[in-house]
Amino acid sequence: MPPLSLLSEDEKLFQSTVLAFARERIAPLARSMDEAAALDKSLLADLFEIGLMGIEIPEQRAGQGGAFFDSILAVEALAQVDPSVAVVVDVQNTLVNNAFLRWGTDEQQALYLPRLAAGAVGSYALSEAGSGSDAFALQTRAEPRDGGYALTGRKLWISNAAEAELFLLFATIDPQAGHRGVTAFVVERGDEGFRVGRKEDKLGIRASSTCELILDGVFVPPARILGEAGKGYKVAIETLNEGRIGIAAQMLGLAQGAFDHALAYVRQRRQFGRPISEFQAVQFELAEMATQIEAARLLVYEAARLREAGEPFLERAAMAKLFASEMAVRVAAQAVDLFGGVGFTKDYPVEKLYRDAKIGTIYEGTSNMQRQTIAKGLLGR
- What gap in Å lies between CA 344 and CA 366, rounded to an integer? 27
Q: Kindly tell me if the per-residue pLDDT of 2 is higher than 60.
A: no
> Residue type for 296, please?
A
Q: Kindly tell me if the per-residue pLDDT of 3 is higher than 70.
A: no
In this structure, are 214 and 265 located in the same domain?
no
Please report the pLDDT score of residue 131 as a whole number. Answer: 82
- What gap in Å lies between CA 337 and CA 176, rounded to an integer? 52
Neighbours of 147 (CB within 10 A): 8
- What gap in Å lies between CA 359 and CA 180, rounded to an integer? 30
**CA-CA-CA-CA torsion sign (188, 169, 75, 15):** negative
Q: What is the pLDDT of residues 319-352, one digit of tens each?
A: 999 999 999 999 999 999 999 999 999 999 999 9
Residue 94 DSSP one-character state:
I
Please report the pLDDT score of residue 262 as a whole number. Answer: 98
- What gap in Å lies between CA 82 and CA 64, rounded to an integer? 23
Q: In this structure, what CATH number is given to the domain that contains residue 108?
A: 1.10.540.10
In this structure, are 116 and 134 located in the same domain?
no
Q: What are phi and psi of 303, to 5 degrees?
A: -60, -40
> Residue type for 183, please?
T
Q: In this structure, what CATH number is given to the domain that contains residue 366?
A: 1.20.140.10
Pick the last residue of a domain from 180, 208, 230.
230
> Residue type for 60, please?
Q
364 given a catalytic annotation: yes
In this structure, are 102 and 146 located in the same domain?
no
Within a 13 Å sphere around the CA of 291, how many CA atoms are in the beta-carbon half?
Answer: 6
Contact between 296 and 324 under an 8 Å Cβ cutoff? The reply is yes
In this structure, are 294 and 216 located in the same domain?
no
In this structure, are 248 and 207 located in the same domain?
no
% of the chain residues with pLDDT over 90? 94
For the chain, the average pLDDT equals: 96
In this structure, are 184 and 239 located in the same domain?
no
In this structure, are 154 and 226 located in the same domain?
yes
Q: Which of 76, 242, 315, 364 is catalytic?
A: 364
Residues 6+ apart with CB under 8 A from 140: 128, 151, 152, 153, 154, 155, 169, 170, 171, 172, 215
Q: In this structure, what CATH number is given to the domain that contains residue 142?
A: 2.40.110.10
Domain of residue 192, residue span: 123-230
- What gap in Å lies between CA 338 and CA 180, rounded to an integer? 51
In this structure, are 257 and 209 located in the same domain?
no
Pick the last residue of a domain from 55, 88, 120.
120
Task: Assign 4 a pLDDT band (cuts: 50, 70, 90).
Answer: very low
Please report the pLDDT score of residue 5 as a whole number. Answer: 67
In this structure, are 193 and 289 located in the same domain?
no
Residue 203 DSSP one-character state:
S
Q: Kindly tell me if the per-residue pLDDT of 75 is higher than 90.
A: yes
Pick the last residue of a domain from 120, 153, 177.
120
Task: Assign 183 a pLDDT band (cuts: 50, 70, 90).
Answer: very high
- What gap in Å lies between CA 155 and CA 167, rounded to an integer? 11
How many domains are there within the chain?
Answer: 3
In this structure, are 254 and 312 located in the same domain?
yes
Q: What is the pLDDT of residues 90-111, one digit of tens each?
A: 999 999 999 999 999 999 999 9
Neighbours of 9 (CB within 10 A): 8
Residue 202 DSSP one-character state:
-
**Rounded to 5 degrees, what angle do the CA atoms 200, 201, 204 make?**
110
In this structure, are 242 and 372 located in the same domain?
yes
In this structure, are 241 and 352 located in the same domain?
yes
Residue 14 DSSP one-character state:
H
Please report the pLDDT score of residue 197 as a whole number. Answer: 98
pTM: 0.96
Q: What is the pLDDT of residues 40-64, one digit of tens each?
A: 999 999 999 999 999 999 999 999 9
